[in-house]
Amino acid sequence: MYKVGIETADNYRLDVIKEALQKCFADIGLDPAYPLSGIVNPGDKVFIKPNWVASRWRESCPHKDNLYCVITHPSVIEAVADFVVDALHGKGEVVIGDNPSIDADFDELMEFTGIRQLEHKYDVPVSITDLRPLVCDDLANYGKRDKMVPQPGDIIGNVQINLGSKSLLYGIDPSRFRGVFDERDETVASHTGETQLYTFSKSLYDADVYISIPKLKTHQKVGATLNLKGLVGSIANKNQLVHWQIGYPEIHGDEYPSKEAWEAAQTAKVTHRGSWPGNDTIWRMVVDLYQAMQMRERKYLSVIDGVIAGEGQGPFCPTSKNANTLIAGEDLLAVDVAAARYMGLEPQKIKYLGYFIDKGIVDYQNIRVLLNGEIQKDFFTSDSKYKDFFVVEQWQGIKK
């Protein structure tokens, strides 16, 4: 039985967040006084991964809102870190990091969030790291590998995983695969035949405990971005992440829904490549990332930040939604399924979640949800829309 706790937190004051988290932890069977003692042991290396996808609003966004509907709030990160350090009892290490969008300014992100103060707060080493080996310092150069700026990335290196025939991209003609760069040779070579490669940041992949703190947010390419979609930020080589197949269905692509849409995009200033439910590629990549993480034994914890959530045109241009919610659990997949339902979505219609549901890897009957301390016996079958997140027009089919 997977347990998921959903509790109300109506602001980001640290004491409010910690109290709500203690209730979440009690919901999932942890001791609220020492909640992470069963997950984190003294001497462990703990990796905490927030959603730091952006450092500011993109100019292409049709509106500018509260940036904390896009990224994880530092109070949630700090509250989780406090509980982690309590469980370490002075022995171990904490790394807080992400591989944000290639155009994010990490220094700007650090200044905006003030999160670096955690590096000096505790009696165990805490480091905050930008895992990206390449950054784009001018969005006009986005997609051009030779225009990227190199940086150290993960200082302890990377871990390469070959999923082979287990990959959901296995058996698909890779000739149209598109990663983060216009140069697609590396993307195609990484996903041809028995070679199905993903290169993870070693600090994250080899950690004893992986704690995911995503934002509760909709996403134009996959429907919703939570724990599993957030694993994109674990990958050092972003060009191995296949986001779509170039073109439109008539020529075996899923970048756009039609030839007309593809032609219109050729002269458009702002494009939304792969941003439609018919994208049959990116959800497979998300499944692959979760499968690759599962190949190494480690402890997990998820805390989803939905105090200020993001609805509509995510991941970069959502509208803020005061969902006043924290969601927690020890199984990333089960938490995603419950969180999607709480957003007013049908988990089975979100392709990467539907895959695991159809395979019987996760089952509604085996997820016990407590909402503000009350067991929700009909959580997945009720007609309630719960938080009723707005989704853009093409994604209306995933709504409850």
Contacts of 132 (CB under 8 A, 6+ apart): 99, 100, 102, 106, 151, 153, 236
Residue entry with tokens 């290639």: 102
pTM above 0.75, yes or no: yes
Beta strands 299-313 and 317-321 are antiparallel
DSSP secondary-structure letter at 109? H
Amino acid 139: pLDDT: 85
Cα distances from 37 to residues 29, 44, 211, 236, in angstroms, run 12, 11, 14, 30
What count of other Cβ atoms lies within 10 Å of the Cβ of residue 29? 13
Count of residues in the chain: 400
Residues lower than pLDDT 70 in the chain: none
Domain boundaries, the chain: 2-243+281-398
* CA angle at 211 for the pair 208 and 214, rounded to the nearest 5°: 155
Amino acid 269: pLDDT: 83
Amino acid 31: pLDDT: 92
Amino acid 366: pLDDT: 97
Calpha distance 337→290 (Å, rounded): 14
Contact 227, 281 (CB under 8 A): no
Amino acid 271: pLDDT: 86
- DSSP letters, 119-138, are GGTSSS-EEEEE--SEE-SS
pLDDT digits over 73-122, tens only? Answer: 999 999 999 999 999 999 999 999 999 999 999 999 999 999 999 999 99
Calpha distance 361→197 (Å, rounded): 23
- In one-letter notation, the amino acid at residue 87 is A
